[in-house]
Amino acid sequence: MTSQGGTRQPKYQRIADALRTAIQAGEYGPGDRLPGENDLMATYEVARMTARQALGVLQNEGLAEARKGAGVFVRAFKPLRRRGIERLAREQWGAGRSIWSEESEERELVVDQIDVREEEADGRVCDALDVPAGTRVWARSRRFVLDGKPVLFALSHLPSDIVADSAVTQVDTGPGGTYARLAELGFAPVHFREEIRSRMPSADEAERLSLAMGTPVIHIVRTAFAQGGRVVEVNEMTLDSASYVLEYDFDA
């Protein structure tokens, strides 16, 4: 397979581009089997490793998935649309609705791992919550699974002096979740800040989210402020980048 137009793009990337274009054009639909390594070797006159790398690119992008003993197939999973502003509106959690329901669109979103514990905050958490060293906090970690696939892991920290002995420290926080309970405690969030970056996952994150090798994650840190500027929650979320579209809709 020769280079065209003087490009230095690797052969495996050019093959991946051709397959991606075919998927986007509808030549291969959700659930369809893509050409295998032998097919690609014959069509493009490349080595097996090159063909394998090309299919790996599509898997890392979330467009395809490998099925043991069967081949590589176009992924049928529909990405989640995370509406960053609407999901945090008080009309959502204040009415007893989960902020996660805004993006699941009636699909089955399951929390299959949850841990709630009190602990002494480390320096990083103390800085985020703007509290003195050694402050006790409650930590809530959750893994979210959609259509059988892990898509997000979230870890929240909240000051113990606010949430101790409340439903926030329980596995099930009740209708509206943590923010509704904070409102009942007199610390309703009135302002949010989210910091977003894309990076490669740690080994632990890749395992938690069942990520293929080379798949990046989206890391979001959300800080919730009550009236007067008190930080009432810091939530670190790690998202499978291939499972999400981040949408922010606001007036100019």
Amino acid at 45: E
* Assigned domain for 113 exists: yes
The two beta strands, 64-67 and 217-226, are unpaired
Domain count, the chain: 2
Distance of alpha carbon 44 from alpha carbon 54, whole angstroms: 11
Residue 65: beta bridge partners?
Answer: 73
Q: Is the pLDDT of residue 236 over 90?
A: yes
Shared domain for 47 and 100, answered yes or no, is no
Return the CATH number at 52.
Answer: 1.10.10.10
Of 52, 50, 54, nearest to 19 by C-alpha is 54
Query: How many C-beta atoms lie closer than 10 Å to residue 125's C-beta?
Result: 18
Shared domain for 20 and 65, answered yes or no, is yes
Return the CATH number at 157.
Answer: 3.40.1410.10
Better pLDDT: 20 or 1:
20
Shared domain for 67 and 97, answered yes or no, is no
From 57, 74, 91, give the residue that closes a domain. Answer: 74
Distance of alpha carbon 209 from alpha carbon 151, whole angstroms: 6
CA 21 to chain CA centroid, nearest Å? 25
Model pTM greater than 0.95?
no
CB 196 within 8 A of CB 118: no
Residue 196: beta bridge partners?
Answer: 220
Residue with tokens 């810091």: 234
Give the H/E segment covering residue 203: helix 203-208
* Residue-wise pLDDT tens digits, 40-67: 999 999 999 999 999 998 887 778 888 8
Residue 211, pLDDT score: 83
Q: Which domain holds residue 151?
A: 80-247
Shared domain for 30 and 96, answered yes or no, is no
Of 91, 56, 92, 75, nearest to 212 by C-alpha is 56
